[in-house]
Amino acid sequence: MMSLPAVMPRDPYFLIALSLGIVGLFLATIFVTAFKPKGKSQQETNTLQAYLKFCYACFVKPHTGDGTGSQQDALESFYKAQADVYDATRSRLLRGREDMLGLVAAQLKHRAEAGLISQRPVWVDIGGGTGHNIEQMAAFLSVPEFFRSVYVVDLSPSLCDMARKRFERLGWKNVKVVCQDARAFRLHEHEPDAYERKELTLQGQNVRDLDENADAGGAELVTLSYALSMIPEFYPVIDSISSLLSPNGVVGVVDFYVQNEVDYQSRNYTGGVIDRHCMWISRVFWRTWFEIDRVNLEPARRDYLEYRFGTVLSINARNSLFGVRMPYYIWIGCSKDHLSSRAKLAEIDAAATESPYLSALDLQTGPTQTDIEVRSKAYESAIINLQSSLPLPATWYQNHHWRIHYDDTLPKHTRFNNSYIYAFTWEDDRADARLLKVQPDDVVLAITSAGDNILSFALEQPRRIHAVDLNPTQNHLLELKVAAFSALGYSDVWKLFGEGRHSSFRQLLIEKLSPHMSSLAFQYWLHHGPSAFSPASKGLYYTGGSGNALMLVGWLFKVLGMSGEVKKLCEAQTLNEQREIWERSIKKVLHSKILTWTVIGNEKWLWKALGVPPAQRDVIEQDYRRMDDMDEQETSTGDQGSSSTQTGNGHGNEKAGGNGTTKKVKDGIKSGHAIYTYVLSTFEPVVTTTLLSTSNHYYLLTLLGHYTPTCHPTYLSPKSHIKLSKPSAFSGLRIHTDEISEVVARMRPGTLTIVVVMDSMDWFPREGRQARKQIRALNRVLVGGGRGRVLLRSAGMRPWYVGVFAEEGFRCKRVGVRVPGSCVDRVNMYASTWICTKERSLVAEDDKTNLRKNSMGDFMIGEPALDC
């Protein structure tokens, strides 16, 4: 047998060429296999030929061109051999193009409906190649009817020829293909209106040569689809877009990218950075790989794009191909100067702070010099950006100004692990309406939670609603609901929030909901929504912390063989039928000690699943101990003193606690029994006094995982949809992502009339001054004269902080209390409900106190008012 060296040349160049040939063959095989569709043999043959051409043009053919070294020559050398198969081979490689088109189409339709675009728009597609994007836009808009003119601008003659053939076949007369360098394209050379605007702009002006070719705007849409990364001199191209774009126009870009979080971590104008960071190996590999075909992935292109324009929406995604994930982004932007004037910023900001400026706007009197004292954090960040010549934070460029800008990188926001606790609200909106009687001139501040009660307040149409939540994702959920009412018909809204599932969620989000959402909320739901609302999943209400509770309840009933009984309970048509089912089966589950001690009495589970923090658990336990101690005192009084004798003679250590071990065990048992008793006191009256199938959607949801047409929240009725889908339904809504104390500290004193803090006061520890600080802040921002009220609920019969309210100028009245055998409301989750009415102003009092302290060195505080 001959040795290997005798049959193979030792030349290393030959070995390298052979290796490259094998790699090329391997890649060609992968391409053919990966993209090979199922179908007829002729189609398979055509597909094979297309991908063989693609592989040859990309990996084998030298890109030498004619030797001029120009960009057009380089492009033509690359594309000429594959122009006729370009579209067929890019469907899976260039992901996100359809999503980008859907997003810009939604923006254009919204702006046209809002009157921001008064005529048929002009669209310029830079690097448009074969015109694929233009034809695909037909899935969202009628290109011949919606657009006045469409310009496909590309530097490759071969691709432009393919584009012309496409539009001849389609018969679209309003589409023009321009084979030109994007840096030199000027709209006024093609559009009469743009030419007239340019002439008017230049009249009487001495312009420099560099400015004479500049446009005066006119395109309502400019797009770049996988083109920016192929343009060597990208700075002038991006600059030219600014002159192409009309004031209310939209820019859409989709392209490959790689980037390190170090580059963007200090920016507040990127519209969110979910999944933007790429690992080191990914950055090195993809940058090197794409450079073979003169595609440049350095982050400067995207960074400059975000610097030159305002960000409306931003998406970071991965295209899974050949077992690897290629990073790409979709970016929707607008003019950097849109809404950037300080007067306009102040006008929008005023609604977040209830400043005097807002009152002037409401009265149509205009602002005065003294009206610029109170500013929100969002306004301050905007001014800092303007002073640094940076775009405004993305929330300022939204079509609606519901969501107030916040810093999503702060630990107080990130500690929620990008998840909401409540997918539905545990507050009886009917009881709130009865207690508060909201009027048209009311200004309401309420905790967002799942947003259900915010929508209920919106039905009452107060002058302003401030929704506040420290957890960003709770506000994302409210944004989704508000966007749904703004853009969808009743059937879609019902599927989303009644059934909790929608088979077309992603399509709805992109094509209809996106113009009504902030970039951060849109990013969140694009990542999490398709799985949450998927028909194959359990649905929306099985997500979040509360979803864990629903899944556990369902699992428990299934294990105990009670699923059928639960279904009967939910379908019962009379209270007697419902009580009978409860007594014979389901009640036994709640009497289970295993359930009590392992689940209900578990502190971590209470917080993760039900949102019951340790401080609130302590409130429940203190009430239980108080009642238990009263029972023990009554027992010992009637026991002829035997108990006191036993502990008083020195031999009662075991009973009294001794070294404390027995006492700890006893306290642990009491803790479990406290939660157990509280749960029984909650559920049993609900089942015996309210009919779940028709009048108690709160518990129907926990058992079924969805609402029914006969039992659902007020906001999900067809009548409510008519109200909430009106254009002005949410004009007074402002969504704050912050602590209540931080929000009210930046509001003008004496502006709020109603504050709803739910059970949040239970979360404050008894030690410390957090509760008092918030109560004083509420006193400052509430109106006087008996109109300023705080509605709160508590797990305690008489929570400790009610006394603090009384000390700080409020008259406190318990307007609901849970007694055995009856419900305080349909939820019956809280032991008491309170309304604290502002009776004296601490602002004026503090002023007087300071004067008296300066003159006398002492002062008096009024007596607290408390009414139980």
269 & 179 share domain: yes
Asked whether residue 698 is domain-assigned, the answer is no
178 & 242 share domain: yes
Indicate the residue among 286, 309, 335 that finishes a domain.
335
**What are the pLDDT digits (tens) for 786-836?**
899 999 999 888 899 999 999 999 999 999 998 888 889 999 988 899 999
Asked whether residue 348 is domain-assigned, the answer is yes
Q: How many residues does the chain have?
A: 868
Q: Is the pLDDT of residue 52 over 80?
A: no
In the chain, pLDDT over 70 holds for what percent of residues? 71
**What are the pLDDT digits (tens) for 724-745?**
999 999 999 999 999 999 999 8
CA distances from 99 to 153, 333, 603 (A): 21, 15, 44
Nearest CA to 496 out of 519, 526, 529 is that of: 529
Q: Provide mean pLDDT across the span 481-507.
A: 97
| Contacting residues for 643 by C-beta, under 8 A, at least 6 apart | 636
274 & 387 share domain: no
What residue spans of 56-186 are helical by DSSP H? 71-79, 86-90, 97-113, 132-136, 143-146, 157-170
Asked whether residue 466 is domain-assigned, the answer is no
SS3 66: coil
**What are the pLDDT digits (tens) for 244-259?**
999 899 999 999 999 9
136 & 255 share domain: yes
Asked whether residue 509 is domain-assigned, the answer is no
pLDDT score for 195: 63
- Number of neighbouring beta carbons within 10 Å of residue 288: 10
pLDDT score for 712: 96
pLDDT score for 198: 58
At residue 582, what are phi and psi to the nearest 5 degrees? -60, -50
221 & 370 share domain: no
**What are the pLDDT digits (tens) for 418-428?**
999 999 998 99
Q: Which residue has the higher pLDDT, 862 or 48?
A: 48
Q: Which residue has the higher pLDDT, 421 or 40?
A: 421
pLDDT score for 197: 62
CATH code of the domain containing 156: 3.40.50.150
Element (H, E) at 248: strand 245-256
Measured CA to CA, the distance from residue 324 to residue 692 in angstroms comes to 50
351 & 225 share domain: no
pTM: 0.82
SS3 225: strand
Structure tokens at 32: 């053919």
Helix axes of 472-487 and 452-460: crossing angle, nearest 10 degrees = 50
pLDDT score for 42: 41
The answer to whether 258 and 297 have CB atoms below 8 angstroms apart is: yes
pLDDT band at 4 (very low <50, low <70, confident <90, very high): very low
Q: Is the pLDDT of residue 154 over 70?
A: yes
pLDDT score for 594: 56
Structure tokens at 432: 């709130």
Among 579-583, 627-631, 849-853, which range has the highest average pLDDT?
Answer: 579-583
Q: Which domain holds residue 131?
A: 96-202+211-335
Indicate the residue among 335, 369, 404 that finishes a domain.
335
316 & 350 share domain: no
pLDDT score for 689: 92
Measured CA to CA, the distance from residue 84 to residue 162 in angstroms comes to 7
pLDDT score for 312: 96
**What are the pLDDT digits (tens) for 742-795?**
999 889 899 999 999 988 888 888 887 889 999 999 999 999 988 999 999 998
Query: Which of 193-207, 327-341, 380-394, 686-700 comes out lowest in average pLDDT?
Result: 193-207
- Note the maximum CA span of the chain: 115
pLDDT score for 93: 77
Element (H, E) at 464: strand 464-468
Query: Which of 91-95, 115-119, 144-148, 861-865 comes out lowest in average pLDDT?
Result: 861-865
**What are the pLDDT digits (tens) for 328-387?**
999 999 998 865 556 667 767 776 677 644 443 343 434 444 444 677 888 888 888 888
- Number of neighbouring beta carbons within 10 Å of residue 616: 24
Mean pLDDT of the chain: 80
Asked whether residue 215 is domain-assigned, the answer is yes
pLDDT score for 829: 86
Q: Is the pLDDT of residue 500 over 60?
A: yes
61 & 195 share domain: no
Give me the number of domains the chain comprises.
4
Bridge partners of 328, per DSSP, are: 256, 317
615 & 630 share domain: yes
pLDDT score for 54: 57
195 & 299 share domain: yes
